[in-house]
Structure 1
């Protein structure tokens, strides 16, 4: 290779490298702005770059909560708890095993990557999730499950009193199901925001209510069009409607899918949904029903 050609090759290489680095810098800066807007924190460029590389963001509150907590590791799950909650650890592990078994039953096998489970106050949970009256929280990006544990209810849970014990287990089952669902979506090489909120929450409610009979007659709420509770903002707005309960509606819709089409239907919907076949198209192809016909079928099933 002649010397001029070597210079040209080296110059071209460095130009491409500079363009690449500038592009990466621009992407990270844009993501930094989104993180700041979402979390209300002043996230540094270094923290943002680390989050992009590891696909895991630790907010200031999450770091603080972990630092103030005790830690117990169960398989791929790091459980962060307070001294007052230490006696809940055996029950927590028992419930996590239950959540794993039920999630595999309806979603099939998935790879288990590290995840954090943090017991926290309702105030901290609402701050972390940006959701009012939240009892639990899951973030696939932050790789964290948050569960509210009221110190006044710990003794009742340990005594096995039905209501506090039910809600404690249910929150863990629900949030773990989110983790399993998003792992399954990730492995299907699809994006979580491709799936309607009622589907995501419905799976979590289905797992969360395992072993509990939920009669349809206990649902006095109005049925909303599924497409009106498809996205997170719409779903959480529907939570504020007095005559609606999107969580309960999501549960009964997913329960109908499983009862009529079998456990494999949830995985089939996840795997069939992609860039060219949206969720509702996949739903129509699998059920042979339009969305409006499917909605009517769900109502008639429970009547």
Structure 2
């Protein structure tokens, strides 16, 4: 009975102290800038680990003077282990933010990033490694192409598309420092879905892992340059590569990638994917641009009766027609200066998002019915 009370009492002490340290850590990481919170994480990691080593020394030390200390050493060891892992967790997220996402994040954005490991993931690094197993690898510039042996005939087409994507995105964004990226070919849209759980899509770009995936809808028609399969394959590749280049450019400005709303990301990617493609305007169900900000928003409307890709394309196409392709780059740069998309957009274009909403459909009707 005494042992049970001792264990319970020490466990309660451990929980109380850990909860206090946890709250302090969360507050520091949410309310202070990245440099301060990162320094705090490093210090806490080192201090916790040193205390852990000291506790082990006390346990192994044969001196009887430490007997009274040993009686409460186990909960203290548990506390040092817990705080060490907690600090490493925050430190790893902070390093990702500092190196990949920019430092000027809001409290809400930081919270979302700290919660990433607890959110449902559709694809992991292990999944990507499995996808690439037993595939051949062809390297073109900074792109490693993973394909099955029978898909090797597609490599020249892919290389031409990458050249076109590189040329177009360089014209729009200027020179961008490239990372080595992986391009995984999926034998069909069904296989892509089975591997990634992405619904009704022919491609994807995974930013943190620098991975592009493209589905092959009909290899024979793609090789024969038959429409529409050939166009969709190349257009999807241009679209996903543009996502990569746009996000690399945004990071180059020291801006958080998703400070730019998703409709802008997708609109720019569609603009490059549909470059110089003429098609007639047709009516579509529209949604407010302010409701196409996040991935959750996008997926909600994409899977309903809204053509969010076409709408975003028309929005970007209107801006290009009115101000030139350089406006895409200017909007990103002004957003970085203001650390706010609405303010940066207004400063760059002289119009608000609401005004764009009123203008772009009218312009699209005129342009595509002529």
TM-score for both structures, normalised by structure 2 = 0.67
Give 1 or 2 for the bigger CA radius of gyration.
2
Q: 2:244 aligns with which of 179, 182, 194?
A: 179
Q: 1:254 aligns with which of 316, 337, 344?
A: 316
User: CA–CA distance in 2 between the matches of 1:106 and 1:239?
Assistant: 26
Contact 2:181 2:212 in 1 (8 A): yes
Match status 1:34 vs 2:116: yes
User: CA–CA distance in 1 between the matches of 2:44 and 2:193?
Assistant: 47
Deviation at 1:208, TM superposition (A): 0.3
Deviation at 1:129, TM superposition (A): 4.4
Q: Deviations over 1:168-188 (max 9, x none)?
A: 101111110011101101101
Q: In terms of mean alpha carbon deviation, does 267-276 or 228-237 score higher?
A: 267-276
Q: 2:331 aligns with which of 269, 272, 276?
A: 269
Contact 1:129 1:137 in 2 (8 A): no
SS at match of 1:39: coil
Q: Which runs of 5+ in 2 are unaligned?
A: 1-41, 50-82, 94-112, 366-370
User: CA–CA distance in 1 between the matches of 2:225 and 2:207?
Assistant: 31
SS at match of 1:118: strand
User: CA–CA distance in 2 between the matches of 1:200 and 1:29?
Assistant: 26
Partner of 2:265 in structure 1? 200
Alignment coverage as a number of residue pairs: 270
Contact 1:119 1:147 in 2 (8 A): yes
Deviation at 1:133, TM superposition (A): 1.2
Q: 1:241 aligns with which of 289, 295, 304?
A: 304
List aligned pairs for 1:213-224, cutoff 5 A.
213-215=278-280, 217=281, 219-224=282-287
List aligned pairs for 1:51-200, cutoff 5 A.
59-120=125-186, 121-127=188-194, 129-150=196-217, 153-200=218-265
SS at match of 2:278: coil
1:124 and 1:223, CA in 2 relative to 1: closer, same or farther beyond 3 A? Answer: same
Q: What is the RMSD of the two structures over their aligned residues, measured on CA atoms?
A: 2.5
Q: Deviations over 1:122-150 (max 9, x none)?
A: 24423554421111000110110000113
User: CA–CA distance in 2 between the matches of 1:274 and 1:283?
Assistant: 10
Larger RCO, structure (CA 8 Å, separation 6 or more): 1
Deviation at 1:28, TM superposition (A): 6.0
Q: Which runs of 5+ in 1 are unaligned?
A: 1-12, 42-57
Q: Deviations over 1:63-93 (max 9, x none)?
A: 0111121100001000000112110001110
Q: Deviations over 1:26-46 (max 9, x none)?
A: 3268889734633268xxxxx
User: CA–CA distance in 1 between the matches of 2:177 and 2:144?
Assistant: 16
Q: 1:282 aligns with which of 331, 338, 344?
A: 344
Contact 1:39 1:59 in 2 (8 A): no
User: CA–CA distance in 1 between the matches of 2:320 and 2:173?
Assistant: 11
Contact 2:205 2:240 in 1 (8 A): yes
Deviation at 1:191, TM superposition (A): 1.2
User: CA–CA distance in 2 between the matches of 1:233 and 1:33?
Assistant: 15
User: CA–CA distance in 1 between the matches of 2:341 and 2:167?
Assistant: 26
TM-score for both structures, normalised by structure 1 = 0.81
